Amino acid sequence: MTTSLTDDQLTEAAEILRSGGLVAFPTETVYGLGGDATNARAVAKIFAAKQRPRFDPVIVHLSDPEQLATVTTAVSPTAASLAETFWPGPLTLVVPRADTIPAIVSSDLPTVAVRVPAHASARRLITLAGCPIAAPSANRFGGISPTTAAHVVSQLGDRIERILDGGPCRIGVESTVLDVSGPLPVMLRPGGLTREELEAAIGPITVATEHLPTGEAAPAPGMLARHYSPATPVTVTDTIDSLPAGRLGLLTLHRPASNHDWSHVEVLSETGDLVEAAAGFFAALHRLDDAGLDRIIALPFPDSGLGLALNNRLDRAAGS
Ligand code: TXA
Ligand code: MG
């Protein structure tokens, strides 16, 4: 189910972007909050609208893999090969930053994170805007990522010029962030492109797993422990025999064998399909958070395929 956006809608939104305004738009992963990446004032507005700390850098979106050379000083053979294989798609590459991209985009780092989204309307919007588009996920900082336009409206509706409704996001978790600016590729964030797919293409990769307390400046930016958090406390556990008292909600891949009287249950995939689970994950978290619960109990996912990204989002929702 995708709502297709008309060229008129995209042309108007592109005009807003060109004049330094902000537009929320669908991608295949989550909704992004876009601004002209070459315009430092537009990027400053993104940080302000999200209440995002300036030390957490944002991703630059291109409409065509060929444009990579316009935002970086050096396209390494690894970056070129990954771009060729996985773009358009849910892979973000961290590469040396060119002067075309102002320092605020990257929180003053000498690198920039770049991706070409697989969503046709997103690419069309970027093409019409005629500039690279800086876009973090379109949620308040630390809030639950948006996978529908309604999620964006509830968190940022009063703060941005335009929200494009392209229906629910197909993948449902953010892109995989891979740093290819150093001698060896390092995965900074598991996401919509699996580790297995990446390793099949370029061999073994290192996964950065450091978690940092909320609010502390991050040496690997964006790697804050608490992120994607609902207002309701979240406990991740695979033992549900000793549960706290109160109104409890359950987030699970399968329906578990438990006779606890849950106040709200979200089963992500009856067949245990991680692709289906990822697509519904953030929407389920939004519903649980709106259900007036004392606590959300979440069962961990298998640690393979998209399970890596889902467990990462769960840990961060729990602040662990
Ligand atoms: O799927 C996605 O990636 C979505 C859609 C909208 O494209 N965007 C997204 O952006 O998730 P955001 O801002 O929520 O996450 C960007 C993360 C940062 O938190 C940081 O971890 C990493 O990307 N990042 C950005 N620039 C970086 C850099 N120069 N070096 C290292 N990490 C960087
Ligand atoms: Mg985000």
pLDDT score recorded for residue 258: 73
CATH topology (fold) of 234-317: Rossmann fold (3.40.50)
Query: What is the mean predicted confidence (pLDDT) over 251-255?
Result: 91
> Residues with beta carbon inside 6 Å of ligand 1?
27, 29-30, 32, 56-59, 90, 92, 94, 106, 109, 111-113, 135-137, 174-175, 177, 179, 188-189, 221-222
d(CA 108, CA 95): 14
Higher pLDDT, 216 or 206: 206
Taking the centre of ligand 1 as the mean of its atom positions, its distance from the CA of residue 77, in whole angstroms, is 22
Number of DSSP helices (H) and strands (E) in the chain, helices first: 8, 14
Residue 84 burial class via C-beta count within 10 angstroms: exposed 0-12, middle 13-18, buried 19 and up: exposed
Which of 23, 43, 59, 116 is the pocket-test mutation for ligand 1 (most atoms within 8 Å of CB)? 59
Higher pLDDT, 227 or 37: 37
Poorest-confidence range of 98-102, 129-133, 254-258, 259-263? 254-258
Whole-angstrom CA distances from 69 to 80, 101, 127, 136 are 10, 12, 16, 21
d(CA 285, CA 145): 9
Q: Please say if the pLDDT value at position 1 is more than 90.
A: no
The helix or strand, by DSSP H or E, that contains position 189, with its residue range, turns out to be strand 186-189
d(CA 142, CA 51): 9
Ligand nearest to the Cα of 187, by number: 1
Nearest CA to ligand 1 atom 6: 32
pLDDT score recorded for residue 244: 87
Domain ranges of the chain: 7-207, 234-317
Contact 100, 71 (CB under 8 A): yes
d(CA 184, CA 226): 27
Calculate ∠ Cα 205-211-212, nearest 5°: 135
Q: Kindly list the protein residues that place their beta carbon closer than 5 angstroms to ligand 2, a single-atom ion.
A: 137
d(CA 55, CA 24): 22
DSSP labels, 260-304: ---SEEEES-TT--HHHHHHHHHHHHHHHHTS--SEEEEPPPPSS
Nearest CA to ligand 1 atom 12: 136
Whether the predicted model's global pTM rises above the 0.85 cut: yes
Mean pLDDT taken over the chain: 92
Task: Put the strands of the sheet holding 23-25 in their side by side order.
Answer: 162-163, 23-25, 32-36, 133-134, 59-61, 111-115, 91-96, 176-179, 186-189, 206-207
What CATH number is given for 7-207 in this structure? 3.90.870.10
Contact 254, 267 (CB under 8 A): yes
Ligand nearest to the Cα of 94, by number: 1
CA atoms within 13 A on the CB side of 70: 15
Contact 249, 262 (CB under 8 A): yes
d(CA 139, CA 228): 9
Query: What is the mean predicted confidence (pLDDT) over 263-283?
Result: 97
pLDDT score recorded for residue 320: 66
Ligand nearest to the Cα of 178, by number: 1
Taking the centre of ligand 2 as the mean of its atom positions, its distance from the CA of residue 174, in whole angstroms, is 7
Q: Please say if the pLDDT value at position 259 is more than 90.
A: no
